[in-house]
Amino acid sequence: MEHTMKILVVDDYATMRRIVRNLLTQIGYSDIEEAGDGVTALAKLRESKFGLVISDWNMEPMTGLQLLKEIRADNKLNGTPFIMVTAESKTENVVAAKEAGVNNYIVKPFNADTLKQKIQSVIGG
């Protein structure tokens, strides 16, 4: 199934961006852009429309949580679906992300099926 939605993968670790990109390709997404940090991600989001952001939590200088808050505070971007990816499964992190308006949460490591389920729960289909 070909999905035409444009997805932004945000992670300061190039290997992780490549892994997420490969998983997205496996489940049928081809319009994928990457950003190495939250600042770059925000610039890309302001330049072009994305159907989904998949962002790591732990990044410098702007964390995934800060990026999420920036997106939710921006009138043009605040409706953009956002999935947070993290190695942390601490309850307080999940709560903080939910309070900030995250649409879903994936704990590393994860596979294509998990990613597909999380995306479907966020955007339907």
Q: How many other C-beta atoms are found inside a 10 Å radius of the C-beta of residue 70?
A: 18
Fold for the domain defined by 7-119:
Rossmann fold (3.40.50)
Which residue from 91, 92, 99 is spatially nearest to 82, judged by alpha carbons?
Answer: 99
Query: For residue 125, what pLDDT band results from cuts at 50, 70 and 90?
Result: low
More confident residue, 89 or 55: 55
What average pLDDT does the segment 99-104 reach? 97
What pLDDT does 25 receive? 96
Angle at 112 between CA 106 and CA 118, to 5 degrees: 40
Of the listed ranges 21-30, 52-61, 69-78, 89-98, the one predicted with least confidence: 89-98
Q: Which residues contact 26 (CB under 8 A, 6 or more apart)?
A: 112
What average pLDDT does the segment 35-57 reach? 97
Which residue from 124, 106, 110 is spatially nearest to 23, judged by alpha carbons?
Answer: 110
What average pLDDT does the segment 95-121 reach? 95
d(CA 2, CA 91): 35
pTM for this prediction: 0.95
